[in-house]
Structure 1
Amino acid sequence: MARILLVEDNEMNRDMLSRRLARRGFEMLIAENGQSGVDLTVSERPDLILMDMSLPVMDGWEATRRLKADPNTSTIPIIALTAHAMASDREQALEAGCDDYDSKPVDLTRLVRKIEQLLAASR
């Protein structure tokens, strides 16, 4: 099954989402800030990244820009996860290089559908 890197600083969100996705059969990798998310992506090559945008050390916007600028990681799909749900937030995430966007609180059915679509398109 696909390996997903969840980059999320909130422990409750991280725990809830990683457990729910693992139950759906995904192998989960976890990073608690943008810099460790970039480092784990380079070393572990996940199939997809779920990127919170408001992160310590390095925010999700910068982490996404760095991953998309690196030819070794640029093709890994990234879904932005943010509590900001305005149209401009979605546009900003896509401009930073995210392949899709989802708002918090996460609707698991909708998120899994987006994950599956991006994984199928990247194969």
Structure 2
Amino acid sequence: MDKKKILIIDDDARNIFALAAVLKSRHYDCLSCQSAMEAIDLLSADDTVDYILIDMMMPEMDGYEAIPQIRKIPSHSQTPIISVTAQAMVGDREKSLFAGADEYISKPVDIDRLLSIFKKL
């Protein structure tokens, strides 16, 4: 079985480090970007990614703006996107899904729940 590749988009390097460490221990390959623009550039270069985890609260371009931009990239229009937010407020899930995310998870990320989301998507 091929390793699945996950792109983690988060402006906080500590979040990327922690999430990537756990996912790598579960045999996933991880790429990371610290801004939505960097991620859009990477994805536009047609890097093969199986799942995208995107922090919804980032400076310059947040996840709500970035997800529709990612969906416009032909090779990633169907790539599963999971929105990640620390602001787990009422309506956040719906707002994320409306922006084009396939699923939503709050911080701190429950890895078992995240892995079950991967299996479902």
What TM-score does the superposition give when structure 2 sets the normalisation length? 0.91
Identity %: 39
Runs of 4+ in 1 over 3 A off after TM superposition: none
AA aligned to 2:42 is: L
- Runs of 5+ consecutive residues of structure 1 not aligned to the other structure: 119-123
Instruction: State yes or no: 1:93 paired with 2:90.
Output: no
Q: Deviations over 1:22-69 (max 9, x none)?
A: 110000000001111111222213111000011123211111011113
AA aligned to 1:19 is: A
Whole-angstrom distance in 1 between the partners of 2:88 and 2:59: 20
Aligned residues: 118
**More helix per residue: 1 or 2?**
1
Specify which of 50, 63, 74 is matched with residue 71 of structure 1: 74
Specify which of 46, 52, 56 is matched with residue 53 of structure 1: 56
Instruction: State yes or no: 1:41 paired with 2:43.
Output: yes
Query: What is the match of residue 81 of structure 1?
Result: 84
Query: What is the match of residue 31 of structure 2?
Result: 29
AA aligned to 1:16 is: A
Equivalent residue of 2:21, what SS? helix
Specify which of 13, 16, 37 is matched with residue 14 of structure 1: 16
Equivalent residue of 1:72, what SS? helix
RMSD over equivalenced CA pairs, Å = 1.1
Moved more, 22-31 or 84-93: 84-93
AA aligned to 1:68 is: R
Query: What is the match of residue 117 of structure 1?
Result: 120
Equivalent residue of 1:87, what SS? coil
AA aligned to 1:5 is: L
Judge conservation of contact 2:44–2:73 (CA < 8 Å) in 1: no
Deviation at 1:82, TM superposition (A): 0.2
What TM-score does the superposition give when structure 1 sets the normalisation length? 0.90
